[in-house]
Amino acid sequence: VQLVESGGGSVQAGGSLTLSCTASDFTFKNSNVGWYRQAPGNLCELVSTINDDGDTYSPDSMEGRFTISQDDAKNTMSLQMHTLKPEDTATYYCAAHPHRILLEPTSTNCQQSVTGLYWGQGTQVTVS
C-alpha cells in the first residue's frame, strides 16, 4: 500500500489550501481515512477523518476550518483548509486503514502514536 500526499506549500495567513492523497493498492471507499499533522516539537494532531460509514469528524480544535472529502471514482481523499493561521504550519499526513479506527494521537510522532495504519510521507504546509 502506498499513500501519496500533494498540495502542500506556502500560503499567507487567512488563505486557503487543498491537500490531496492518492492511494495505490488501497481503496478509500468503505475504509477509515483521514489527516494528521505534526509540527516540530509539538504533539501530533488529528485533523479530520472519514470513517467506513462515510461519517466525517474533525476535533473542535480545528475550529471548523478544515473539510475532508473523498472521491471514490478517483480513489482520492482531500483536505480543504480555510482561514489558515501560522499555527497551522506543519507536516500533514494522510492515513488510512480498511478496519482500524484513526485514533487521537498521544505523542509527538504520528506514526508511532497511532500504529497499524497506512501512512503517506507527508506534505509540508507553511503559513506566514
Please list the rounded mean pLDDT of every run of 10 residues in the chain (128 residues).
97 98 95 95 95 94 95 96 97 95 89 92 98
pLDDT of residue 107: 87
Strand partners, 22: 4, 76
pLDDT of residue 108: 87
The answer to whether 121 touches 6, Cβ cutoff 8 Å, is: no
Strand partners, 101: none
Name the DSSP letter for residue 54: S
Q: What's the grid cell of residue 75?
A: 480513489
The answer to whether 125 touches 9, Cβ cutoff 8 Å, is: yes
- ∠ CA 43-77-106 to the nearest 5 degrees? 15
The answer to whether 21 touches 92, Cβ cutoff 8 Å, is: no
pLDDT of residue 30: 93
pLDDT of residue 8: 96
The answer to whether 120 touches 8, Cβ cutoff 8 Å, is: no
pLDDT of residue 122: 97
